[in-house]
Chain A
Amino acid sequence: MNLSRSIVIKSIRYHLRTNLAVAAGVAAATAVIVGALLVGESMRGSLRDMTLERLGKFDQVLVGDRFFRVAIAKEVRDTDGFGKRFSTALPLIYFPAGTAEHPDPTGLSATRSSGIQVLGITGDFWKQSSKTDLILDKAILQMKDDEVILNAPLARDLGVETGDHITLRLPAGDEIPADSTLAQKKDRVRGLAELKVVSILPAVGLARFSLRANQALPMTAFVTLAALQEQLEETDKCNALFVAGVNSEPAADGQQWLDEQIRLTPVDLGLHIRRHRLQSPALDEGEVGGADAAAVAFDYFSVTTDRMVLEDAVAASVQSVADRWNGQSAITYLADSITATTPNVDSVRLTEGIPYSMVTGVDNTKDLPYLPGNGVLKLDEIVINSDTAERLKVGVGETITIHYLEPESSHAEATVSRQDFTIRAIVPLTTPSSPFDEWGERTFEQPPTRFNDPSLTPEVEGISDQESIDNWEAPFPGYDKRRITDADEFYWDDHKTTPRAFVSLECGKKLWGSRFGSVTSVMIPAAATTTEEISERLTEEFHRQQVPAQIGLNFRAVKEEGLAASSGTTPFDGLFLGLSFFIIFAAIVLVSILFRLGIEQRYQDIGLLSALGVARPAVLSLFLREGLVVATLGSLCGVPLGLFYGAAMITGLQTLWVGAIGTQFLRTQFTWMSPTLGLITGLVVSAIVIYLSIRSLKHRTARSLLAGQTNSTVTAAKSGKWLPRVAIGSVVTGVAVGAAGTQLAGEMQAIAFVGGGIMLLTALTSLAWHWLKRPGGTALTLAGLAISNAKRNTTRSGMTVALVATASFLILAMSAFRLAPNDQGSGGFQWLARSAAPIYGDLASATARRAILGSAKMPGDAVIYSMRLKPGDDASCRNLYQSTQPQVYGVTQSFIEHYDDNPKAAFGWAKHASIPSGKPDNPWRLLLDDSDDQTIPIVVDNNTAMYSLHWYGGVGAEYELTYDDGQTIHVRVVALLANSVLQGALLMSDANFKETFPRVSGYRLFLVDQAQNDDQDDSGLVAYLENGLSEQGFDMKSTVQILDDLLAVQNTYLSAFQSLGALGLIFGVFGLGAVQLRNVFERRKELALMRAEGFSPGRLGRLVFIEMFMLLSCGLLVGVVSAMASVLPHMLASGVQPPLVGLSFWLLVILMSGMASGALAVLRTINAPVVAALRGE
């Protein structure tokens, strides 16, 4: 016979009602835990599914900022080993930020959508979709060049339907970086007009394609690859390669394999290898004896780029290859003027100088000898050609000045600098007998020299291709035709872009090098090699030196990145466990209360067993086993309930709380993990609670247990003194914390006030408990009797008050953390704008505004500040994916200085590094701190740092980030913004930005202050800017609206917490009703006695009701008073309105629930048979 097992099983059955109540509590706790885990699993699963859906079968992606051969796709496909890892490689043209326009019927205005994706595709693209039903439509598969397919979000935004026509605007490709002084700032946007919308696809499958991990639906337009190639004049070229995997999981070594296999040729990098040869007329006549090398002025290959300057990584590789043939680098730049700085001997000094000339920085070599022997030019020495010497009337030893425009400009204005040189030598320049003709040919009667070489100057559209210097389409500011003389025209006719002067290569790089590069060509003697050999060797060298990766032409494992990011920024299981905390807490407290009730019923059993010599641990073990069986049954029941709860939470996130996740993408999904983990956790937590409930019996004597003495009577004398001390201490601490809060601001203030409120809650709850413990002191009235009844079981009554007080405090106090947009979040700006295409000029500059908008003055004297933008992940709380490559903003000096004089309009700061004394109290200036050259100082919003990037180090912490173009940067946090409109990005100074991301030109983010008159109608300003910059897709949004959207995430979570907390409290209140029912049962004899003595059932019912109502009201009062002490001061200070209606509703529901649950106890009392009760039956 297993007596102990028999006791456990029979006890469970015998005390079934109590055990069922305990099991229900455990089931509730387990259900909430399972549900929260289910939400987390569903979130991760949904994000993962979205990643797989939006990428289809594409594993790896190469997207460049330049165009390369379409043939590379086939080359990659034909590589051995490709088929083991991948199924296909497709060439595409991909633009992440374009603009779409849909004109209204009048044609006078248009609806615009900016920041849209544009993909130039072939029919094979759709075959990589996971949603195969999308590709069945012929219109999709056989789209024509004048047609476009939109996804539904873009169609909705534009307000178009199938059959409508739209225009797409895209940045033109492969141009000189716009921030280069010699680059065209205008006409950098190409338009594809009159595209017919042939299909609008729902945003599923590849119709929601995006390279960025974000649950927000992208707006995307699909056109044919051929259409884009034609419009961009990039025949047989593309700027992206998309490689599809064999199955849905990415190949393990896919990226590495592709990077190792791909071979980008010089053509793919936008390089040109041209032969330049100039020979004397004697050779043309076929002189006997063959070619006379001395009669050849020059014969070499040059390696040049469409971008005017070779990027440093490219230049280094080209030079490395050229070294085998004694090749050399050169930099040729435009001099604004060359003037004599010393009067010449014979005539008046040519003070005007020679305008718009070329100067080359190159070293003296045998192939380009401008000094005898191995002479080396010093940095302040120059060699000029004979024409220049004659024009300026200068000779060797005299000084000339080169005036030039700084190679980088960003304000649509350029800075002129100057450098003086001493003439070291004069080299001969032969004048041709016939100038350049329309085919670019000229004739020499006298042998030309090495210095008759216009090819030293890179081709610049609008300059080098012009017939006349007068016809230049000069991209640089300040071009003045009036400076051009006949002599300049003659020089142009004879020599075109032939350099007038030479400096050392080092000097040239120093003066005219920029972040874009410092070499314009590399020259290789032609006798030594061939074009093909140079190309082959360059291809290999680029691969060996990993040059493509250094210039952003490397593959990204987008699927692997996306799947890694789908773990999410926020652990939703933990979040929902936190949000459901109070339900779990209420359930656990109920389990404890009910289990203890059961134990109290059986004190005498415990006393008997002890008296009979069964050791206390063995006795308690029996009860623990019983509790564990009950908890196990409860947990098992809790699992299916938890699935319902989780599904309900997900429904809430899709509807009422959609503000927290942005879009309705969440789907319920789970594996065995959530139910199992929830079951185990619920069981363990309940087991711990049960164990703690019975542990207190360990030291109770058998005698007291036999006598049925409760803890309250045993411990009342002991604990009477410490409660008032706790209360006093809590009040003092609370006042101190609250007072400290008055000196703080923002969230810190809220935390301080809530902390003070918690102290007040502790004090009031302690006082309430102390009062409950004190016997007597009540009047002999019905209410007084009810109070004295409540005091009989201090633990139960005290826990009731504490439970209700804590719950109501938490629900109300969370309102303190509600956020509302304010000036500190917007920095005093009313608008934040983005452009799809960069704007090449800082609009803060009047010159730039005049050049770009046509007028320096803005409507209403509005002020605008520009910021550069490095595209990346949206690292704000709106993006649920984990951000690893946050976008970066470059903050201009003018923006920084704006806050020197406007401290009141400043952004709010969570924290910042100390500002050096004597400097303006402007934390933005910390971005200019260059004390540490290993790290880049950055500002980031505190929410972005904490919740998106998980940067917990605060101010002073350093981090490393690697971007998809292979670039790694080291940053140091110098300041943290508080709830700002600049969330989601890192901010660095403009100077650091240009140095760190040299390939990013122009500005794409803008803050607009519409100036002083708040009543002023701002529609004029919006129209002015959006229409004036429509080609660049300029889109303005109210900072209040942006902040609302950002803050909605936190506010939504608060609402969810308050709602779930209220549900938990209702649950707890109903459970307490069960406790009250138990109380009534235990006192049935005395209640029956009162009936026998003449109390009416109704009067007894009122007695029981008053007791419950008193405890409930006491708890609510304590909680509400404490919460108000927390919430009101902060809300008055911050101006945030608490959701009084909602909170009042919940409090009323709680009160009504409590009264309803108490009614059960009342009914039990009224209906109990008197005689049976007197007998104790």
Chain B
Amino acid sequence: MTQLDVAGVSKEYPTPSEPLRILRDLSLSLSAGENVAVVGPSGSGKSTLLHILGTLDTATSGSVTLDGIDPFSLSDQELADYRNQNIGFIFQEHYLLPQLSVLENVLVPTLAKGNPTAEQIELAKELIERVGLADRQNHRPAEISGGERQRVAVARSLIMDPLLLLADEPTGSLDRNNASSVAELLIELQTTDQKMLVVVTHSSSISDLLQRQLLLDDGQLKSMNKVE
């Protein structure tokens, strides 16, 4: 079964005085179809943890394996391929390319292997329809609302059929109504497609929608309420 295993991960930043420890000996496991919220105050290291899980950053110590693979042992090209095929990102700022249409933005991850195939284009259209933007696929980001842009980001994160979805404050820039609808959409898609989902958020209304809530405090993860 597909599994995300995080074992003893620590992250330190060097400073002129003594190293600044952000994450301390942190462990986490997740299986396909599961989702978890990581909450914590500002500066607690939530985004750092997400970046390590997404291989955008490296841990000072510890290991991360996804589906049995340690991504940090891969070469740069292998790592890029790994990330492209196994991980989907949803950022707070959505990072849609302003000059491309909705459809083209969803297809951007396919560029890693050249131009999108016909199947990928069909899949993109399906995903756009699933996020409720079928009639907007030729619009540019400036021509849709903030919530709709984030939906596009959700669809983009699924185009490569990844094992793991990582969302960093996905609703941070949205109003309450849009936030909850985007969060619900994300969870629905994740559950339906049996992905693993880690959501970093500081919103309790969002974290309450997920199966587990983990508090990142003093560099360590603590369960908030659910039984493991």
Contact surface of A with B, Cβ cutoff 8 Å: 1-4, 6-7, 10-11, 13-15, 604-605, 607-616, 618, 701-703, 706
Contact = CB atoms under 8 A, between A and B. Distances in A.
A614 B109 contact: yes
Contacts of B5: none
Nearest to A705: B56
Given A611-B56, A613-B85, A613-B160, A10 B109 contact: no
A419 to B, nearest CB: 98
B56 A614 contact: no
B115 A703 contact: no
25 contacts: A1-B107, A3-B104, A3-B108, A3-B110, A3-B116, A7-B100, A7-B111, A10-B99, A605-B95, A605-B97, A612-B83, A612-B89, A612-B112, A612-B156, A613-B82, A613-B83, A613-B84, A613-B85, A613-B112, A614-B108, A615-B76, A615-B77, A618-B112, A703-B56, A706-B91
B52 to A, nearest CB: 10
Interface in B96-133: 97-100, 104, 107-112, 114-116, 121
A1147 B152 CA distance: 55
B25 interface: no
A607 B100 CA distance: 16
Ranked 9 nearest A-B pairs via Cβ: A613-B84, A14-B99, A10-B99, A613-B83, A608-B95, A612-B109, A614-B112, A615-B80, A703-B56
Interface in B17-57: 51, 54, 56-57
B195 to A, nearest CB: 16
A553 B201 CA distance: 102
Contact of B99 (A3, A11, A604): A11
A706 B80 contact: no
Nearest to B96: A608
A461 to B, nearest CB: 98
B98 A612 contact: no
Nearest to B81: A613
A11 B121 CA distance: 21
B111 A618 contact: yes
Given A1-B115, A618-B111, A706-B56, 4 more contacts: A614-B112, A615-B80, A615-B112, A701-B57
A536 B185 CA distance: 117
Most buried by A among B56, B76, B80, B156: B80
A2 B56 CA distance: 28
Contacts of A612: 83-84, 89, 108-109, 112, 156
B77 to A, nearest CB: 6
A702 B51 CA distance: 10
A706 B85 contact: no
Contacts of A3: 104, 107-108, 110-111, 115-116
Contacts of A706: 56, 91, 95
A3 B54 CA distance: 25
Contact of B80 (A608, A613, A703): A613
A610 B76 CA distance: 11
A1 B56 CA distance: 29
A3 B91 CA distance: 23
A2 B109 CA distance: 14
B112 A1 contact: no
B99 A610 contact: no
A1 B121 contact: yes
A701 B51 CA distance: 11
A614 B80 contact: yes
B133 to A, nearest CB: 18
A1017 to B, nearest CB: 83
Given A3-B110, A3-B116, A10 B100 contact: yes
B69 to A, nearest CB: 14
A687 B54 CA distance: 34
B112 A702 contact: no
Given A6-B100, A605-B97, A611 B54 contact: yes
A1077 B150 CA distance: 32
A6 B111 CA distance: 11
Contacts of B83: 611-613
Contacts of B54: 611
Contacts of A611: 54, 56, 83, 89
Given A1-B116, A605-B95, A610 B80 contact: yes
A738 B72 CA distance: 56
Contacts of B91: 608, 706
A703 B95 contact: no
- Indicate the member of A1, A15, A604, A618 with the most B CB atoms within 10 Å: A1
B148 interface: no
B93 interface: yes
Given A3-B116, A611-B83, A703 B51 contact: yes
A614 B116 contact: no
Nearest to B58: A701
Contacts of B93: 604
B95 A604 contact: yes
Contacts of B87: 613
Contacts of A703: 51, 56-57
A13 B99 CA distance: 8
Contacts of A10: 99-100
A1018 to B, nearest CB: 79
Contacts of B114: 4
Nearest to A703: B56
Contacts of B77: 615
A609 B51 CA distance: 15
Contacts of B80: 610, 613-616
A610 B116 CA distance: 17
A702 B168 CA distance: 15
B139 to A, nearest CB: 14
Contacts of A614: 80, 84, 108-109, 111-112
Contacts of B109: 612-614
Contacts of B116: 1, 3
A113 to B, nearest CB: 74
Given A605-B97, A612-B83, A4 B115 contact: yes
Contacts of A604: 93, 95
* B77, B104, B112, B116 interface centre (most CB from chain A within 10 Å): B112
Contacts of A605: 95, 97
A471 B109 CA distance: 116
A192 B56 CA distance: 99
B118 to A, nearest CB: 9
B17 to A, nearest CB: 15
A11 B156 CA distance: 19
B83 to A, nearest CB: 4
Contacts of B51: 703
B67 to A, nearest CB: 16
A596 B54 CA distance: 28
A388 to B, nearest CB: 112
Contacts of A607: 95
A605 B108 CA distance: 11
A7 B81 CA distance: 21
A588 to B, nearest CB: 27
A1 B101 CA distance: 13
B146 to A, nearest CB: 12
B161 to A, nearest CB: 13
A613 B114 CA distance: 12
**Which of A613, A616, A618 counts the most B-chain CB atoms under 10 A from its CB?**
A613
A706 B92 CA distance: 11
A995 B89 CA distance: 93
Contacts of A616: 76, 80
Contacts of A1: 107, 115-116, 121
B189 to A, nearest CB: 17
B2 to A, nearest CB: 18
A567 B195 CA distance: 75
Nearest to B94: A608
Contacts of B76: 615-616
Contacts of A613: 80-85, 87, 109, 112, 160
Contact of A6 (B89, B104, B121): B104
Contacts of A610: 80
